[in-house]
Amino acid sequence: MEQEREQLLERLQAAFHYTVACLCEEVAEDKEIQFSKQAIAAISEITFRQCEIFAKDLEMFARHAKRSTINLEDVKLLARRSNSLLRYITQKSEELTLNNLEQKGKRKQKSGTAKGKRTSEEQMDPLALESEDSNLV
């Protein structure tokens, strides 16, 4: 069990290192600079350790609130020291909320019309009622 955990951690670190290397490559092309392998390894290691700290902090925030699930408020609390990151997270969460509300509205509208219910527009349109009545004759 412990050996499996260590193998998973090593695989995660390797994937993390690969991603950091790809990001460094993008930055290097954009800024016309180069990163040494040692620099990439150091950035990868520091970032991985910081992510571990973030994960533990998020867990503690949720536990302090007597919850077993980490939520958006925990993430905002974690990002509180970086105004730009906090603004970005807040903006994205608002976008997701609006998108979710739109999706729910579309699903409700589809289920309402699928069951033979009229949408609010159809209920207000007398021509729609007239055409339906003429089909019955």
- Please give the structure tokens belonging to residue 79: 């990002």
Residue 32 near residue 39, CB atoms below 8 Å: no
Predicted TM-score of the model (pTM): 0.66
pLDDT at 22: 97
Tell me which H or E stretch contains 35.
none
pLDDT at 79: 96
Candidates 69, 63, 90, 94; CA nearest to 79 is 90
**What pLDDT, in 10s, does the model give residues 25-42?**
999 999 999 999 999 999
Q: What is the mean pLDDT of residues 130-135?
A: 42
Question: Which of the four pLDDT bands, split at 50, 70 and 90, describes residue 129?
Answer: very low
pLDDT at 65: 97
- Residue type for 1, please? M
- Please give the structure tokens belonging to residue 51: 């992510």
